[in-house]
Structure 1
Amino acid sequence: MAGARVLPLVIAPTIANIKLHHVLIDGGASLNVISYAAFKQLQIPESRLDPSRPFSGVAPQPVYPVGTISLPVTFGTEENFHIESVQFDVAKVNLPFNAIISRPALYRFMAVAHYGYLVLKMSSPAGVLTVKGDRIAAVAAVEKLHALAAGLVPAASAKGSDPSPSRSRAPAKAPKVHPSYTDDVPVKNF
């Protein structure tokens, strides 16, 4: 995407009643993934995870998820929101995103992503819901992905150690999980 001068659509939906930043909307994939670190921040017990199968295409090697779980995902505000249940694979992956929401989940929301304008539009009870992307998070994600692809992040760095001092440019750091614990998060009672 960066070569085409198009940024990824990075947003901050509410997942399991916590606002989770750095979530990629990937309209071309069919895999919903949430990082293990973000899953731990949601404070959901691992006993709620169901078994999952390995997948590929996100990392150089196949990824063996910790498990899979269905979580409520909410876009919008208290006045205008849309909520759906999304099945996520919980995996320990080195990506600049806390989660990836893909095409099947977008179909559930009946959402349309426009990557040129960095917006996501969907229907809601109060009309059309427009969710704006986070341009700063998108640029940081592109820089991190470029550093990973260019090999500037050694394998040891991906596991948490410092990069080699012989590198001329330090790679971009992966964003941290930033949950928001506000009372204005829309919650739908089931």
Structure 2
Amino acid sequence: MVDPIIVMKRLTKVLMDGGNGLNIVYAEMLDAMGIDRAHIRPTGSPFHGIVPGKQAMPLGKIDLPITFRDPTNYRTETLTFEVVGLHETYHTILGCPCYAKFMAVRNNTYLKLKMLGLCRVITIGSPFQRAYECEVECYEHATAIVTSIELAAIREEVIEETPDPKRSTESFEPIEGPNLLGSKGILREVAEHALKIRPGSKPVKQLLCRFNEEKRRAIDEEIVKLLAVGFIKEV
């Protein structure tokens, strides 16, 4: 059994997520702590939110003793973690089960977490600068995942669906058969489209607008982000 005090010293980057219903630890962190993966119990329940836009299948579950603070005043409880075999910026994510087990109360404004210890209240805090650095690192990591995976998939779909440039509009053929409302055509007596062109005017082809590589890359990244969060979708 790993010393719980040592465990928490190694977990220097912990995300306290009160909206998450799971406690999550990454397999590479277990290896760093010297915990044998043979202790992982199998599980068959996938979950979402770890990989942006994808469902994740954990490697299994494991029970670990977690300790807050130091030997003079501490609180230790055993938590069940979902083990994920992915790379992440955080060492572990402590969710609602952790808050319930420790009966902890948090204050998001001051980045403080309080719980009862052996002899007095334990207060745990994080500097705002440190929290900001972790947030930026996590955002950059998530963006890199989305850009590398989703953008490649989108580009493949775009290539597959790109119309044949050799196809000319001159190959258009009018639909033959009864032009009834509700079929593929409408009687010209019902509706007809006409272009109001000045007689004798010369048609002018507009120049094709192209973006440079930097702008195209930025556009691709923004599209991927919107697709990943479900703000837009392909129709």
TM-score when normalising by structure 1: 0.68
1:76 aligns with 2:69: yes
**Is the counterpart of residue 30 in structure 1 residue 21 in structure 2?**
yes
Task: Give the CA deviation at 1:134.
Answer: 4.5
Q: Any conservation in 2 of the 1:114–1:120 contact (CA below 8 Å)?
A: yes
Please give the secondary structure, in 1, of the residue aligned with 2:101: helix
Does the aligned pair in 1 maintain the 2:23–2:80 contact within 8 Å? yes
Give how far 1:18 is off.
Answer: 4.6
Structure 1 counterpart of 2:110: 117
Unaligned runs of 5+ in 2: 150-213, 219-235
Larger RCO (CA within 8 A; separation ≥ 6): 1
The alpha-carbon distance between structure 1 residues 36 and 134, as it changes in their structure 2 partners (threshold 3 A), is farther
- Measure, in 1, the Cα distance between the counterparts of 2:78 and 2:95: 13
Name the larger-Rg structure: 2
Q: Does residue 86 of the first structure (1) align with residue 82 of the second (2)?
A: no
Query: Is the 2:28–2:87 Cα contact (8 Å) retained in structure 1?
Result: no
Q: What CA distance in whole angstroms lies between the structure 2 residues aligned with 1:90 and 1:79?
A: 31
Q: Secondary structure at the match of 1:47?
A: helix
Q: Identify, as 1 or 2, the structure richer in strand.
A: 1
Asked if the contact 1:122/1:129 (under 8 Å) is kept, the reply is yes
State the Cα distance separating 1:30 from its structure 2 match: 0.7
Query: SS where residue 69 of structure 1 aligns?
Result: strand
After superposition, the Cα gap between the structure-2 partners of 1:20 and 1:14, relative to the gap in structure 1 and judged at 3 Å, is farther
Unaligned runs of 5+ in 1: 1-12, 157-165, 169-190
- 1:26-105 aligned at under 5 Å gives the runs 26-52=17-43, 53-59=45-51, 60-105=53-98
Offset of residue 19 of structure 1: 3.1
Whether 2:11 is the aligned partner of 1:20: answer: yes
The count of corresponding residues between Structure 1 and Structure 2 is: 148
Identity percentage of aligned residues: 29
Contact 2:60 2:83 in 1 (8 A): yes
| Structure 1 residues 64 and 150: CA distance shift in structure 2, 3 A | closer
User: Are the equivalent residues in 1 in contact too, given 2:8–2:68 (CA < 8 A)?
Assistant: no
Q: Which amino acid aligns with 2:35?
A: I
CA RMSD in angstroms, aligned pairs only: 2.6
Q: Verify the 8 A CA contact 1:22 1:137 in the aligned structure 2.
A: no
- What is the correspondence of 1:171-182 to structure 2 with a 5 Å cutoff? none
One-letter amino acid of the structure 2 residue matched with residue 54 of structure 1: P
Report the TM-score, using the length of structure 2 for normalisation. 0.56
Other-structure match for 1:126: 119
For each residue in 1:107-149, what CA deviation from the matched residue of structure 2 results, as whole angstroms up to 9, or x when unmatched?
1101011111111100112111101125344212211333355
Give the stretch that moved more between structures: 83-92 or 137-146: 137-146
What's the counterpart of residue 231 of structure 2?
none
Q: How far apart, CA to CA, are the structure 2 residues paired with 1:51 and 1:117? A: 39
The superposition leaves residues 64-93 of structure 1 with CA deviations (integer Å, 9 ceiling, x where unpaired) of 111110000000111110000010111023
Q: Kindly report structure 1 stretches of 4+ aligned residues shifted beyond 4 Å.
A: 148-153
Q: Report the counterpart of residue 233 of structure 2 in structure 1.
A: none
